[in-house]
Structure 1
Amino acid sequence: MAAPDGGGAPLEEFRAGAQALPAEIFEGISAAAFAVDDKGITVAVNGRAEKLFQMTASELVGQDAHDLLHRDSHGHPLPRTRCGLRMALLTHRTDHCESDWFTRGDDTLLALAWLITPYELAAGNLGALVLFYPPHEEPAAHRDDAEAPTTLTELDRLALLAETTTQLTSTLDVDEALHRLAALTVPRLADWAVVDLINEVDEVRRALVVQHADGVLIERVDLQGPMPPVPQESPMPLSRALRGAASTLASPSTYHGLPDSGIAVEQQRLFTETGMHSAAIAPIRGLREVLGALTLGRSHRPDPFTVSDLTLLEDLTRRAGLALDNARLYERQRTIAETMQRHLLPQMPTVPGLQITARYVPAPHASQVGGDWYDAFSLPGGATALAVGDVAGHDLDAAGGMAQIRNMLRAFVWTHPESPSVAVTHLDQAVMHIAQEPMATMVLARLTTAGDGCWRLHWTNAGHPPPLLVNYDGQSRFLKGGHGMLLGTGTPSVRTDAEVTLPPGATLVLYTDGLIESRRHTLDVGMERLRRHAASLARRPLSSFSDSLLAQARPDDNDDDVAFLALRTPDPGRAG
């Protein structure tokens, strides 16, 4: 059956193996509906879904619905670890979300609520039915804009302010806070929400423009971007708000005539593009400075804003200012912490004949710093030391402990360059008395070259995932020798060295467990995934090999950071 809105494919053409949904039921659903299989691949859509996402059934069916449509509040692809839809699908449970962001065919963003419930497809394949509908299911959201109430009772105002406080203080992400502010005010108070922000060097950016149309929120990226400087003497409403003056009303007539500044020109454009006939503009103040301004506009509702609306608007922006202050402070601290972490990690040495590269990926939802680290440095006699380790914890203490252990390791390796196991034994004895965070795992290796041109690797392993060796022809194996107790247990143990000759053109990978751990499968499964991906990338240039391996092998539900060190031996018979 073709979708009634046009462009739809017959249901019998949906993905092979899917049980045909009863057409009259599927098309009769009053919300946009998707049917997906157990992997999240779309097997059917109704006409409302085609219209909502501005894509045809042929463009939607057969695609991973998450990858194709799901976005974060910035418009970037949403990591699978943060996808509630995917988690509900994998655990076969019914779930819903009041507001999430999705893209559509014209690259605009939609704020949508969703409901997912298990649905049995053919051959016992348990997929799911997903419904998308406007967020905040209030009666106003389903009326025509002209019929929506334009005034709020005192109880409504108090409820809105309470919800604003709860919504904005529960996130430390600036863009997420802005999108929540827009969703709270549109369409409840206005047809448009516009946020202009001032950064640390007094530059203005139109950070968000959201409109309400066809029952959903649409982000107008084309109206966002950098703004001209704030004029110090301009009497225009937005200029005054960005200087911290009281809230005020505006209309297209406010900006008629010769503009007095670049911001006035942009405001003329805003009123023209949006069709707003009335706007209310208020400053967003932090504790110490003006952070920006919020503009609420009406284009479809016939009644204009009045002076009585400004009190509520100022209450909203006061709460928004406190939330943005906290979010900005958190972002600054996070940036400082991540910068510190990266500065603690060393630059790679230059070793004639070898390619060496390293990567560090911070934990996506932790404090952005942790105990994962790598190191590589030259030793007397031309040998090269390589190390990857993981100190327990994901905070500044773990980062500090990592720096202590790495620095001690360098000292012990320098005084005992002939044997990795001897150096690690001394380190283990020292960390119990010196290190701030003594519990750690690590691999320490010593790489040398002989007269025959081959490279030999000696290593010892202190409770860490084993190194991975990938030959040029794609053969691969884990180096499981030299394994011993992790550091800091206080238990005496005998450590040994293992040895292997690295073939020409081989790639050695040292990594931390963030690359293989998953809540959904065992470490053995994670290691096998890593091995297979690495083998498939064996002939990639080392930098591309490293980036692709991190992207492909790292489990999407792992919140750990990753330290990664890779080297490649020369192969005189092959270029690159």
Structure 2
Amino acid sequence: MGAVQGRSVPGVSADVICALEAIGTGAYVVDEQGCILAVNRRTERLLVRSAGELVGHDAHDLLHRGPHGQELPRTQCSMRRPFHTGGTAQADEDWFACGDGSLLRISWLVTPYAFGDGTSGTLVVFHAPEPAPRAEEGTEPPEEALPELERLALLAETTTQLTSTLDVDEALRRLAALIVPRLADWAVVDLITERDEVWRSLVVHGDGDEVVHREDLQGPMPPVSQESTMPLSRALRGVAATLTGPQTYRGTPDSGLAVEQRRLFDVTGIHSAAIAPIRSTRAVLGAVTLGRADNPAPFTPTDLSLLEDIARRVGLSLDNARLYQRQRTVAETMQKHLLPQMPRVPDLRMAVRYLAAPDASQVGGDWYDAFRLADGSTALAVGDVVGHDLEAAAGMAQIRNMLRAYAWSADEPPSRIVARLDEALQHITDVSMATMIFARIEPDADGCWRLSWTNAGHPPPLLISHDGVADYLTDGHDILLGSGAELPRTDATAILPPGSTLVLYTDGLIEAPGHTLDEGLDRLRRHGAALAHRSLSPFTDQLLHRVRSSANEDDVALLALRTPEG
């Protein structure tokens, strides 16, 4: 980590350095003022300058020179316009000053660069082109699929695009946009699932400037044959990349994969293809196939080398995405197993929802509960343990179990039960702070339902009448759990009219970046009132859909209860 930090200014993440290192030639990133933020090792070698001599310095003043080594005025700098307009540009010849006093002739490309925290800069990719070898008389120079600078730029863009998402489908969409039609008319990705099944996950065709997804060619594939000598089977076993074409599959197929690959060539009209394995550090994840049908030029070994470089980056991205998804699945499964099943209460309907945070590391502290008490009443609870990780989820389980024990063993009002819980919190749990509402509901003599509750620093319950009048129950509001302040807790009581809906929720429902909690509470009240006529399950689903902000990074627990109509 120290070596990584030494090649960037403080605050620039290690991911930026890794992305620069993957480019394979000189590359550095500058901020809006043109100061160098990060460099890769290749830049240090080409310019004969250490990272310490580069990072933090103005790139133009330090490096840019005229063809005779003279200092170059900013007005004559060819990088100046794309740098200030935020566009992409390139040049075949320019000059950089090296640390040993020599002058380096370079080709360069500049393009906008987005950091993970939302800030932006400019990426400069450069290399020192070697003189082209003289062709023998009477021979044609070999055709290059992509100029070297464009090849390096494509790899840089592939790295930044694919490593900035942890969603497999999004990574494949970005891959398709990068290589079609720049490299091929067709792109196909076959992935090996965690059950060792092969799935054709992406088939796209370049139609002009558009990328057309051919879902009719996607889907399950036959298993990988360990004996097949066909290119796709070999790639899915991790063997080196291969140039191929429809003629390879004209003979008798040696596997089901060969049958499907021949069908692909027949349907698409591909006359030349390049296939490379997609690997992680632990396993083969799949294979990527590039095909040309409209472009008459066949693929060359140079194209194959480029495809291998791209496939390595795809493997890194997919491996990270799968690890993330595995972590997220474990966290969500743990959280859902910790949340209880709702009891059956005559004449009362209840619906609960738990919505996980978008980030797996944010799963944790939000919870709900409902259970019958010894006297026949029903306890309701919703809460939020401070923190957003698996430790918060474990703390949530401790609080819920303690609350159940206290509520069942003592015939006391909600305020006294929560006070006892608060007293024990710091001594027998790992929870530092938490908010919660604890309530009990029971029928009264005239056929209505009486709710009594106490609120420990939690957003207030919302009560919605059958005809859509929505009000917050703001009484009984006291300090949160774990503060250490020995203040008395209070109870509040309300009568729930026939056909009314009570909503208990955590703050993830009403929080939205750039908006106050009051705005979130008003949004919940208005949508709750508008949905009052819906049956309880659709009411709960629609309330989540309408109220929770898509930009919110917190999880949500919600408990909705409806009394019988009179």
| TM-score, length basis structure 1 | 0.71
Deviation at 1:405, TM superposition (A): 1.7
**Could you tell me which residue of structure 1 aligns to residue 37 of structure 2?**
none
Using the TM superposition, give the Cα deviation of residue 497 of structure 1 relative to its aligned residue in structure 2, in angstroms. Answer: 0.6
Using the TM superposition, give the Cα deviation of residue 339 of structure 1 relative to its aligned residue in structure 2, in angstroms: 0.7
CA distance in 2, matches of 1:321, 1:215: 26
Q: Paired residue for 1:447, among 417, 423, 441?
A: 441
Given the alignment, which residue of 253, 264, 271 partners 2:258? Answer: 264
Correspondence for 1:548: 542
Give 1:27's aligned residue: none
User: In structure 2, what is the equivalent of residue 376 of structure 1?
Assistant: 370
Q: Is the 8 A contact 1:334 1:368 kept in 2?
A: no
CA spacing shift, 1:268–1:505, aligned 2, 3 Å:
same
Give SS of 1:548's match: helix
Q: Which residue of 2 aligns with 1:144?
A: none
1:416·1:422 contact (CA, 8 Å) conserved in 2? no
1:169 matched residue in structure 2: 163
- Identify the residue that residue 465 of structure 2 maps to in structure 1: 471
Partner of 1:312: 306
Alpha-carbon distance in structure 1 between the residues aligned to 2:149 and 2:546: 52
**Structure 2 unaligned blocks of 5 or more:** 1-84, 89-110, 113-142
* Offset, 1:366: 5.5
1:420 aligns with 2:414: yes
Structure 1 match to 2:386? 392
**Residue 333 of structure 1 pairs with residue 333 of structure 2:** no
User: Which residue in the other structure is 2:213 paired with?
Assistant: 219
Report the equivalent of 1:277.
Answer: 271
In structure 2, do the counterparts of structure 1 residues 368 and 260 end up closer, same or farther at CA, with 3 Å as the change threshold? farther
- Tell me, yes or no, if the aligned pair for 2:508 and 2:556 is still in contact at 8 Å: yes
Distance 1:326 1:532 in 2: 41
Residue 368 of structure 2 is aligned to residue 354 of structure 1: no
| Counterparts in 2 of 1:162 and 1:521: CA distance versus 1, 3 Å | closer
Q: What is the identity, as a one-letter code, of the residue corresponding to 1:195?
A: V
Residues 438 and 165 from structure 1, CA distance in 2 versus in 1: closer, same or farther, beyond 3 angstroms?
Answer: same
Contact kept, 8 Å, 1:401 with 1:438, in 2: the verdict is no
1:233 aligned partner: 227
Shift of 1:303: 1.0
Return the offset for 1:154. 4.2
Q: Aligned to 1:339, what secondary structure does the other structure show? A: helix
Residue 188 of structure 1 deviates from its aligned partner by 2.8
> Are 1:490 and 2:478 matched, yes or no?
no
Shift of 1:380: 0.2
Matches of 1:198 and 1:96, distance apart in 2: 39
Counterpart residue type for residue 432 of structure 2: P
CA contact (8 A) 2:362 2:554 kept: no
Structure 1's consecutive aligned runs of 4 or more residues displaced over 6 angstroms after TM superposition are: 95-98
Q: Show the counterpart of 1:10.
A: none
One-letter identity of the residue aligned with 2:355: V
- Deviation for aligned residue 1:213: 2.0
1:461–1:353 Cα change, 3 Å:
same
**Alignment coverage as a number of residue pairs:** 430
Maintained 8 Å contact 1:366/1:559: no
Give me the whole-angstrom Cα distance separating, in 2, the residues matched to 1:214 and 1:339. Answer: 45
- The Cα shift of 1:518 comes to 2.1
CA distance in 2, matches of 1:555, 1:303: 50
Give the whole-Å Cα distance in 1 for the aligned partners of 2:536 and 2:547.
Answer: 16
How far the C-alpha of 1:335 sits from its partner, in A, is 0.5
Q: How does 1:61-460 map to 2 (within 5 A)?
A: 151-365=145-359, 367-460=361-454
- Measure how far apart 1:449 and its partner are: 1.9
1:558 maps to which residue? Answer: 552
| 8 Å CA contact retained: 1:518, 1:555 | yes
Q: Work out the CA distance in 2 between the residues paired with 1:253 and 1:293.
A: 20
Q: Provide the rounded CA distance (Å) in 2 between the counterparts of 1:433 and 1:241.
A: 58
Give the secondary-structure state (helix, strand or coil) at the position aligned to 1:380: coil
Is the contact between residue 248 and residue 280 of structure 1 (CA under 8 Å) also seen in structure 2?
yes
Matched residues in 1 for 2:295 and 2:348: separation? 68
Tell me, in whole angstroms, the C-alpha distance in 1 between the residues paired with 2:544 and 2:256: 45
Contact 2:452/2:491 (<8 A) preserved: yes
CA contact (8 A) 1:246 1:282 kept: yes
Measure how far apart 1:156 and its partner are. Answer: 4.1
Q: Distance in 1 between matches of 2:548 and 2:335?
A: 20
1:97 shift after superposition: 11
In 2, distance between residues paired with 1:418 and 1:501? 19
Q: 1:436-459: per-residue Cα shift (whole Å, max 9, x none)?
A: 232111110011123433221110
The correspondence of residues 47-66 of structure 1 with structure 2, limited to 5 A, is none
Once the two structures are superposed, residues 208-256 of structure 1 have per-residue CA deviations (whole angstroms, 9 ceiling, x without a partner) of 1222222233322222211122223222211221122222122122222
Deviations 1:402-446 (A, max 9, x none): 122222222222233431000111111222233323211111001
Could you report, residue by residue, the CA deviation over 1:342-395 in whole angstroms, capped at 9, with x for unpaired residues? 111111111122111110011124625121110111110111110011112221
The corresponding residue for 2:496 is: 502
Secondary structure at the residue paired with 2:483? coil
Amino acid at match of 2:155: L
Q: Quickly say closer, same or farther: Cα 1:417–1:207, change in 2 above 3 A.
A: farther
Name the amino acid aligned to 1:339.
T
Could you tell me the percent identity over the aligned residues?
67
- SS of equivalent to 2:297: coil
C-alpha distance in 2, partners of 1:302/1:430? 77
Tell me whether 1:517 sits opposite 2:511 in the alignment: yes
Q: Distance in 2 between matches of 1:199 and 1:344?
A: 29
Distance 2:360 2:521 in 1: 23
**Any conservation in 2 of the 1:280–1:296 contact (CA below 8 Å)?**
yes
TM-score, with structure 2 as normaliser: 0.72
User: 1:543 is aligned with what amino acid?
Assistant: S
Matched residue, 1:46? none
Which residue pairs with 1:5 in the alignment? none
Distance 2:477 2:175 in 1: 54
Matched AA of 2:499: G
Which amino acid in structure 1 is aligned with residue 295 of structure 2? R
Which string of whole-angstrom CA distances, capped at 9 and with x for unpartnered residues, describes residues 256-301 of structure 1? 2443333223222222332211001111122222111010111222
The structure number with the bigger radius of gyration is 2
What amino acid is the match of 1:316?
A: I
* Aligned equivalents of 2:228, 2:187: Cα separation in 1: 23
CA separation of 1:287 and 1:280: change in aligned 2, threshold 3 A: same
Letter paired with 1:318: R
Going from structure 1 to structure 2, the CA distance change for 1:556 and 1:324 (only over 3 Å counts) comes to: closer
Q: What is the distance in 2 between the residues matched to 1:162 and 1:287? A: 21
The CA deviation at 1:513 is 1.2
Distance 1:97 1:544, change over 3 A: farther
**SS of equivalent to 1:381:** coil
